[in-house]
Amino acid sequence: ATPRITPAELMARKGGTPIVCLTAYTYPIARLLDPHVDLLLVGDSVAMVLHGHKTTLGATMEMMILHGQAVMRGSSHACVVLDMPAGSYEHSSAEALASARRLIAETGCDAVKLEGGVDMEAQIAAITSAGIPVMGHIGLQPQSVEKDGGYKIKGGTDDAIAALLADAQAVERAGAFSMVIEGTMEPVAAEITRRSAIPTIGIGASAVCNGQILVIDDAIGLTVDRVPKFVKEYAVLRDIVAEAAARYGSEVRARSFPGPEHVFQPKGKAES
């Protein structure tokens, strides 16, 4: 089998064919996506998407490890990145490194991702210095939405633009191999992409980025709550699932399922 795509290979693709990324949280979805993407992110969005929490603050180390293990079992080609959950890295470089080591050791994932720029430079540097690849995440940072008072698009004022450029520089300086830019005005995403030596992966940050990522449930129309403006639904699985459940329900009530072809009969008795 050919080896997985490495973080170093993705870093070297800056300026080339856009890098294709999706989130994945489970074994079957990883199996289905793996041939088609460069990178699978086990995002802390799993807390909202699969577990029904109101924000990503519901993610825990244990949750990230279980889903990371499932995605690793279901993939063999894509580079797999695991989100560091809120509370596992912000307080100190030592905490960040210990958490990153545990996530990698227990899952075998290729890299970790954490949110923050200037404020997390020391944490990113501590992890990359230990040889663990890190993906940055700047712009809209879902782990900070409660503090920020909601999901707010970034880069609308000169101060915000300066802060974003400083964050991008800090992430790169700390040794990250790439960075997610989320919920950010196109001109700023373009400026960051132009100025950074590492690939930018956009989500709600326009096509100027060096790659794109979406939450898988958003991309396949399985999201049952709010769907953000930047999402494109490439399928509408909500309707397919609801229709299948409705049809199953009517067939069970009508005793037309199970049919003869689904039933076991003792030997000697003909099936039809």
**Which residues contact ligand KIV (rule: CB under 6 A)?**
23, 41, 43-45, 83, 137, 180, 182, 203, 213, 215
Say how far apart CA 109 and CA 117 lie, in whole Å. 23
Q: Which is nearer to Na ion, 18 or 58 (CB)?
A: 58
Q: Which is nearer to ligand KIV, 44 or 167 (CB)?
A: 44
14 is in an annotated binding site: no
Strands 39-42 and 79-83: parallel
CB of 218 to ligand KIV, least distance (A): 9
Dump the DSSP string for the chain.
-PPPPPHHHHHTTTTSSPEEEEE--SHHHHHHHGGG-SEEEE-TTHHHHTT--SSGGG--HHHHHHHHHHHHHT-SSSEEEEEPPTTSSSS-HHHHHHHHHHHHHHH--SEEE--BSGGGHHHHHHHHHTT--EEEEEES-GGGHHHHTS---B--SHHHHHHHHHHHHHHHHTT-SEEEEESB-HHHHHHHHHH-SSPEEEESS-TTSSEEEE-HHHHTT---S---TT---S--HHHHHHHHHHHHHHHHHTT-SS-GGG----TTS---
Do the Cβ atoms of 190 and 166 come closer than 8 Å? no
CB of 30 to Na ion, least distance (A): 17
CB of 51 to Na ion, least distance (A): 14
Q: Which is nearer to ligand KIV, 103 or 213 (CB)?
A: 213
Considering only the stretches 46-54, 58-66, 77-85, 152-160, report the one whose residues sit in contact with Na ion under the rule CB under 5 A. Answer: 77-85
45 is in an annotated binding site: yes
44 is in an annotated binding site: yes
225 is in an annotated binding site: no
62 is catalytic: no
Among residue numbers 11 through 50, which ones bind Na ion (CB under 5 A)?
Answer: 43-44
213 binds, among Na ion, ligand KIV, none (CB under 5 to 8 A by kind): ligand KIV
For position 204 contacting Na ion by CB under 5 A, the verdict is: no
The catalytic residue among 9, 106, 182, 191 is: 182
Q: Which is nearer to ligand KIV, 85 or 175 (CB)?
A: 85
For position 85 contacting Na ion by CB under 5 A, the verdict is: no
CB of 230 to ligand KIV, least distance (A): 10
Considering only the stretches 66-74, 76-84, 171-179, 235-243, report the one whose residues sit in contact with Na ion under the rule CB under 5 A. Answer: 76-84
Q: Which is nearer to ligand KIV, 57 or 213 (CB)?
A: 213
* Residues pairing with 214 in the sheet: 22
Of 226, 230, 235, the residue nearest 214 (C-alpha): 230
Residues known to be catalytic: 182
Residues forming contacts to Na ion in the complex (CB under 5 A) are 43-44, 83
Q: Report the binding-site residues for Mg(2+).
A: 44, 83, 115
